Structure 1
């Protein structure tokens, strides 16, 4: 009988010890995680920049600027509007063309880019673009695309085109087939529409956002906006603001690491440095 009692006591003690062990595991205090210190969220802040004006140049106030490029020391501009769309090589000191080519009145000119020493120019709603000899501005080819044409640039491999949406299309420059499409979003995943004039600079796509004073800097691999540039200050330095419309036009001088910025019907073009806020 005593032996039986001893057995029951031993079993009871084993069950009690087992229960205590399980209780200790189940109620072990959790490790508190500080989200702000999480490296995954460490780059959530979009960088902010503003332009510091270095030089102010005259710009033809009758030019409805759609595309701007600085290439080998020369400035090229494409303009819009039916009946007055042009492709021009610009005298930086005067703002007026050294060479100029008029588009047919049925075409509304849009963005321009230089790829393999040829100039590519989009049109707005004609689903057609033109290719020009860079020296003579003579038209040497055409290409088609299925969307509206707004801005165009290139990454030395693909032609990158905006169509007024929140997407960028990457085209094969030989047959103009779509290689890929990316959606452009802010870091909180908010899409950004009305992507207009484009420029590929140091591995990033710079884009004017139509009807705003913002230039966004887009990662071409992810579509995420890494930086934002507020160019609203430039309007206060225009010689004539009577007919000045929205900011549009981005060009880059890689020799000086400076940017050329202007707008539709602006009286001036500005050479600037970008300063982080």
Structure 2
């Protein structure tokens, strides 16, 4: 007999369908996806294709209430950030502009993405460890992109059909920087979480993802991109992941941490 899979009921979506929520009545189980690319406060001025009309305004000392207002309803949460911090941004602290990342001609102090990323993680981890909600939190590490011969905006592609073998590929410099920041800040937060009774665990997906250059949508980010013109020039997506695909392994890791979590304390 084949198992019956319950049909989830979609109970919420935002205007852009970026954040969604589903309910499984038989299990009284709710699954949410929350779009909060920085986890901290941000004003973003770009469309669904990543084309921006102005610099991101990033508030390094303010949490994004998009997710924190729902936090007390969560028993489990997987939290991850990353590549958005590489975008051009103006930084705000204490209600004033403190600097920027990649903003030549603005007459602002170039602080770099390292500065904002570390500050953001500290704000996020402080919120989690101080919260009265003692949920199980999995912090997902950064995952690399696999653009070759360019970036997303300059013709980069990811045409490989098999994974890399061990030793065939290295992390990019910015991925190494972000990962080191993540590990440093997580280690400090985990110690505090333990004191406060918060179950904070590391979901380390970086190396697993590095080998899976074959797991991205590539030119198929949009449905049937070559239906009208087989030679059409399309924007490749070598950052996000296909489903089913490599990130199914992430689910396996989460289940292992849930079922046998005591082994990883």
Quick check: TM above 0.5? no
Q: TM-score range by the shorter chain?
A: under 0.3
**Does 1 or 2 have the higher relative contact order (CA < 8 Å, sep 6+)?**
1
State the TM-score, normalizing by the size of structure 1. Answer: 0.24
Larger Rg: 1
State the TM-score, normalizing by the size of structure 2. Answer: 0.25
Structure (1 or 2) with the greater strand fraction? 1
